[in-house]
Structure 1
Amino acid sequence: MLDGFVPWPPEFAERYRRAGYWAGASLRRLVDESAARHPGRTAAVDATRRTTYAELTAEADRVASGLLGLGIGPRDRVVVHLPNRINFLSTVVALFSIGAIPVLALPGHRRDEILHLARASDAVAYVGPDRFQGFDYRALAREVRRDAPGLRHVVVDGDAAEFTPLSELARSDVRELAPVDSSEVALLLLSGGTTGVPKLIPRTHDDYAYNIAACARVVEFDDSGVYLAANPVPHNAALGCPGALGAVILGGKAVLAANPSPDHVFPLIEREGVTLTTLVPALALLWAEAARATSVDMSGVTIQVGSSKFGPAAAARVSESLGCRLMNVYGIGEGLITHTRPEDPPEVVFGTEGRPVCPDDEIRIVDSEDRQVATGESGELLTRGPYTIRGYFAAPDHNRRSFTEDGFYRSGDLARMTEDGNVVIEGRLKDIIHHLGEKVSAEEVEGHVLTHPLVRDSAVVGVPDDELDERLCVFVVLDGDAAEAADQVTLRAVRDHIRGRGLASYKLPDELIVVPDLPYTPVGKIDKNALKASRSR
């Protein structure tokens, strides 16, 4: 077992195996099974090429053999820093094949993040592109390698300069590969917090395969499905919920978009017959706005929306504009996924994050003393289950704070449970603003602001204030013609609008700032620290 990995207690592991959640198959074996069923079928498409299942697995075999030739083997960690390309899939499948562990970095990460990941994981290798969107990743690799002595190898997709070309590994003679234990760690995801450096989330072959299968059942995705990775595929949602990796494990097709702009993805959706994609709320709203001017048929597309709160007004707007089937999702890289269902009525889809995808997902909603609250009351969401980790990788101090003694993960999310078993996420525990002596949920106010017909996106933050405790600042992105709308979206107009919706007076904003776009962290969450800093100067 990998040092630094916190396993499930034996009695839980046995229970999950008996229930059939853990099937005992490695992720590579599952890809191979799809390839055996559909060798000539298209497995993946990117901006430059298409590949069949037979071609994808053969390429992964050669890359795996090349990695072994470099001395990379079971349990070695490899930082994978590739954008949405087929080479991302063939590389991670190659790593699964030899029992090495990809550490999945996002394309937007730079020196500080990659150096942290290399050191925290004790990585022996880094795989990145030569250039992407104008940035030279080889220069980054030189800096990281200098400051992370354990990083022995740099592999580059493209012009490798002094490093090892990925294309060279892909020409390696195929070696016989030893079986991989499905209970071993398969990959390290990154935590999605907006503060501090990301923690490493160890996911095993068993639990991640179940994660994919459970999500696929809920969204009715099978070998006829076509998944569009619009967001970066190293992100958990675009990778395995069911995501691009799920698409090739299930025998469907993965479409890897170079970027998520409507101009790029709308033609892809129609040309490739996309049936499923995953978006963050801001991107869903951007697509909805673009669809007013661009004809696109999304009647056969299901869109999962998650990563941050997607309020009822925004959800209804997106569903109507795009003409798609919308499903609201709450998901964490650490495990738990709740999901609305295809048969759910609009009030459930638009107003809740749905129900857990697994019967053995355990959820507690607790107060500040860890006491269970009554149904309908708000508290912190705690969870454990067959695909929820029992600890971050090599992080004992974080684990003491983030997990209860009986193995429940503390999400840090404020939630309540409805009478019919649906979860409603109400914000982050730390996203509470102290205003005029009262506590205000930022996400509650954001939801009301988003009902304004001229507002496309909003974020609310608290800024220290001697008289108000915290000043309640609302940032808004305008819908449509910003120049014409700006005169109508004033602080007074927004206050009047949300007051008219019955919001308490102590929840009304003190300041309104119109911005062209909101800042986002690399994992797609609104960067509220940056917003606070902009008002604290």
Structure 2
Amino acid sequence: MRIWDERDTTIVDIVDEAARRFGGRTAFVEGETRLTFVEVRDLSIRLAKHFLALGIGKGDRVAVMLPNDRWHVLTHLALCRVGAVLTPLNLAYRQQELRYMLTHNQVRMVVLTPDWQGTDLLSVLLDVLPEVGCVEHVLVSRATDDKSAIVVDDLLKRDAVVSDADLAKHRPGADDAFAILFTSGTQSNPKATLHTYRTFVPGHIDQSVEYQFSSEDVFLSLGSFGHMFSIPMISTTLRCGMRHVLLPEYSPQAFLAAARREGVTVATGVPTQWLDILRAARDEGIPLKMRLVITGGSKIPPHMVHQLRDQFGCTVAAQWGMTEVCAGAYTRPGDPPEASWQTVGRVCPRAEVRVLDPAGDQELPVGEIGELAFRGPSLFVEYLGNPQATAAVMTQDGFFRTGDLVYLDEQGFIHFVGRTKDIINRGGLKIYALEIEDLLLEHPKIRQAAVVAMPDERLGERSCAFVALTESSAHEGGNVLTLNDVTDYLLAKGVAKYKLPERLEIRPELPTTASGKVQKAKLAAWVRASVG
């Protein structure tokens, strides 16, 4: 398959070319609102001129805290048009995260939804601005009673007094900064990861070719545009001429309704979301056919892949990525079905991976477990303002040490084992947490699982299992699942006794990041505190 060589492409180039090629076809759908490729270009230019009139131009840093709606899309594209540097922010963030992230990135403007799921986000932001000091403009997507912010929807209805020539002066090049994204921070404080257009765009173009995207496809993202898993799809679908269905607020029912109405053929989401969707489709008797489901971010259960293939008639692609590497590896539509749950795919085009020993000095042979190292054009530039952290993760020959434990097979598929920080040392015996978590997720009463180290005076560490139960099991109440139940189940699966969890904590929900990864650092901190 031909790999596109578009190493100098920027998102502005993509928008302009998409308007020329696809014109009056529908580019984005949000409920009853439809925007054509030409309208997306013209509205994003109009908004870009308003940004320029506010003094926001090339190199200025702008935070975006919006759901997956038309305002998010147009804001994203308008910022690219003026060469501003995007800082996506999770809608779940509150004062503590905003205070740190806005200050660290020296953000000059914030664009946000005024409220989200019962929280007044505008008030949350205004509360921290006196401490932040760098933010000069606050924009909200739609009108509110609070008149202290500029309304994006109003700006889109009128032209700004800025010439095309002035706007063109700010048009970015491939090596200009595109975005500063914060890492998920499941084990430590998030780091600000800098990407240029050159590190961000070409790799996702390659991905669209590998996934066989075409102008006949209709796309929907279940994940937030504030995360690396989903943010590339704004420009990728434009480039491919795909109709992109926007779902501002996720629920299984909302997805199924939108997917049936628009004929969605390709969708991305984390396993938890797909399991919920499968259950809802079965319970409500909703038929749906798709071509491709792209998933990742957490363990992919085999039964989920089988159910997606049987129920929706689709291929399931597993994807491994990080904020630092974009989509670093994935299965392709022609790969065997089992590859999507046994592996995280093969490395992306034009990149390479190695498996390193604990010291990071030696490359390990096929089949041996070690740390995954990645090198390629989609690799991030640096951790902004943290050169020590950048140096700590890079090898002398330019490989990024991911912190993921893997092994390679003869076909080049990457088998994920766990995180380097996710090994429990029980009296000198090593327990890979992921091995136990994978088995727990196969238990009929468990829908979320995480195994963390629990301090122990004699052995150093023992393992503690945190689980959230399936909806039907949770409704049963009482001691529906005990530690003995769990250990008996694992022993029946052939697990060695030293690997068995020695404590079980049942929670209604395990804490997760925006990408669906369990925040094990929070669970580990709770365990440490509980044992004194």
Code of the residue aligned with 2:236 in structure 1: it is: G
Inter-partner Cα distance in structure 1 for 2:440 and 2:339: 21
1:349 paired residue among 340, 349, 352: 340
Structure-2 change in CA distance of 1:63 and 1:39 (3 Å): same
* Cα separation, 2, equivalents of 1:485 and 1:350: 31
Determine if contact 2:281/2:287 at 8 Å carries over to the other structure: no
Out of 502, 518, 534, the residue aligned to residue 510 of structure 2 is 518
Aligned residue in 1 for 2:282? 292
- Kindly indicate whether residue 456 of structure 2 is the aligned counterpart of residue 465 of structure 1: yes
Instruction: Report the CA distance shift for 1:488/1:114 in structure 2 as closer, same or farther (over 3 A).
Output: closer
2:371 is equivalent to residue 383 of structure 1: no
Q: CA deviation at 1:382?
A: 0.9
Residue in 2 that maps onto 1:226? 218
Shift of 1:96: 0.6
CA distance in structure 2 between the partners assigned to 1:494 and 1:197 by the alignment: 32
- Picking from 129, 137, 147, the partner of 1:161 is 147
Shift of 1:86: 0.7
Question: Is this contact kept in 1: 2:193–2:381, CA < 8 A?
Answer: no
Rounded to whole Å, the distance in 2 between the matches of 1:465 and 1:318 is 42
Looking at structure 2, the residues matched to 134 and 69 of structure 1 have their Cα atoms a distance apart, in angstroms, of: 33
Q: Does the 8 Å contact 2:224/2:514 carry over to 1?
A: no
Task: For residues 398-440 of structure 1, give each alpha carbon's deviation from its aligned partner in whole angstroms, at most 9, with x where no partner exists.
Answer: 1121212222111111111111100011111101112243111
**Which moves more between the two structures, 25-34 or 459-468?**
459-468
Residue identity in the other structure for 1:223: S
The CA deviation at 1:109 is 1.5
What amino acid sits opposite 2:513 in the alignment?
T
Q: Which residue of 2 aligns with 1:258?
A: 248
Deviations 1:474-527 (A, max 9, x none): 222333511448756332222222212221111111122333222112342101
Q: 2:459 and 2:259 mapped to 1: Cα distance?
A: 49
Instruction: Tell me the residue number matched to 1:92.
Output: 76
Matched, 1:408 2:399: yes
Shift of 1:323: 4.6
Distance 2:507 2:189 in 1: 27
Gaps of 5+ in 1: 1-18
Is 374-383 or 309-318 further displaced after alignment? Answer: 309-318
Q: Give, in whole Å, the separation in 1 of the partners of 2:272 and 2:471.
A: 14
Report deviation, 1:167. 2.7
2: CA distance between counterparts of 1:114 and 1:310?
A: 32
- 2:317 is paired with a residue of what secondary structure? strand
Name 2:437's counterpart in structure 1.
446
- Aligned 8 A contact 2:464 2:501 in 1: yes
- Report the secondary structure of 1:457's partner residue: strand
The residue type paired with residue 172 of structure 1 is D
- The answer on whether the counterparts of 1:67 and 1:169 sit within 8 Å (CA) in structure 2 is no
Looking at structure 2, the residues matched to 450 and 320 of structure 1 have their Cα atoms a distance apart, in angstroms, of 20
- Is 1:78 paired with 2:57? no
Amino acid at match of 1:180: P
Equivalence map 1:133-148=2 (5 Å): 133-148=117-132
C-alpha contact 1:299 1:325 (8 A) present in aligned 2: no
- Deviation string 1:150-193 (CA, Å, 9 cap, x unpaired) is 21111111225212221343223363121421221122222123
CA contact (8 A) 2:300 2:340 kept: no
Match of 1:456 in 2: 447
Alpha carbons of structure 1 residues 134 and 449: separation in structure 2 relative to 1, 3 Å: same
State the secondary structure of the residue aligned to 1:238.
Answer: coil
Q: Structure 1 CA distance, aligned partners of 2:502 and 2:21?
A: 61
Q: Does 1:24 align with 2:24?
A: no
Alpha-carbon distance, 1:22 to partner: 4.2
Aligned-pair distance for 1:288?
Answer: 2.7
Give me the whole-angstrom Cα distance separating, in 1, the residues matched to 2:94 and 2:40: 29
Mapping of residues 112-261 of structure 1, within 5 Å: 112-158=96-142, 159=144, 161-170=147-156, 171-173=158-160, 175-176=163-164, 177-178=167-168, 179-240=171-232, 243-261=233-251
- Please state how far the C-alpha of 1:315 moved relative to its aligned partner: 4.0
* Structure 1 residue 135, shift from structure 2 partner: 1.4
Q: Which residue of 2 aligns with 1:304?
A: 294
Q: Distance in 2 between matches of 1:397 and 1:21?
A: 33
Output the aligned Cα RMSD. 2.1
User: Which secondary structure does the structure 2 equivalent of 1:75 belong to?
Assistant: coil
Equivalent AA in structure 1 for residue 300 of structure 2: F
Residues in 2 aligned to 1:216 and 1:202: alpha-carbon distance in whole angstroms: 22
Query: Following the alignment from structure 1 to structure 2, what is the Cα–Cα distance between the partners of residues 77 and 118?
Result: 9
Letter of the structure 2 residue corresponding to residue 183 of structure 1: D
TM-score, with normalisation over the residues of structure 1?
0.91
The 4+ residue runs of structure 1 with deviation greater than 3 A are 19-23, 311-324, 483-489, 533-536
- 2:369–2:407 contact (8 Å) kept in structure 1: yes
Identity of aligned residues (%): 32
User: If the length of structure 2 is used for normalisation, what is the TM-score?
Assistant: 0.92
Decide whether the 8 Å contact of 2:4 with 2:206 is kept in 1.
Answer: no
